[in-house]
Amino acid sequence: MIDLDKERITDKMDDLEQCLRELEEYLPAAVDEYLGSGMRRRACERAFQLACENLLDICNMIISDEGLGIPIDSKDSINRLCQCGAIPESLSSRLEELTGFRNLLVHQYGKVDDSIAYRSLRDESGDFYEFLEEIEKFITSKIDS
CA distance to 29, 48, 88, 127, 136, per residue, from 15 (Å): 24, 12, 22, 16, 14
Contacts of 77 (CB under 8 A, 6+ apart): 56, 59, 60, 63, 71
Say how far apart CA 86 and CA 30 lie, in whole Å.
Answer: 35
pTM of the model: 0.91
Produce one character per residue of 126-138: b if its CB has 16 or more CB atoms within 10 Å, e if not.
Answer: eebebbbebbeeb
Q: What is the CATH number of the domain that holds 75?
A: 1.20.120.580
**How distant, in Å, are the alpha carbons of 6, 71, 116, 117 from that of 35?**
40, 36, 11, 10
Residue 104 has pLDDT above 80, yes or no: no
Task: State the residue range of the domain holding 21.
Answer: 3-144
pLDDT of 3 reads 46
If one counts the domains in the chain, the total is: 1
Is 18 a residue whose pLDDT tops 60?
A: yes
Write the pLDDT tens digit of every residue in 31-86: 999 999 999 999 999 999 999 999 999 999 999 999 999 999 999 999 999 999 99
Torsions phi, psi for 87 (to 5 deg): -135, 150
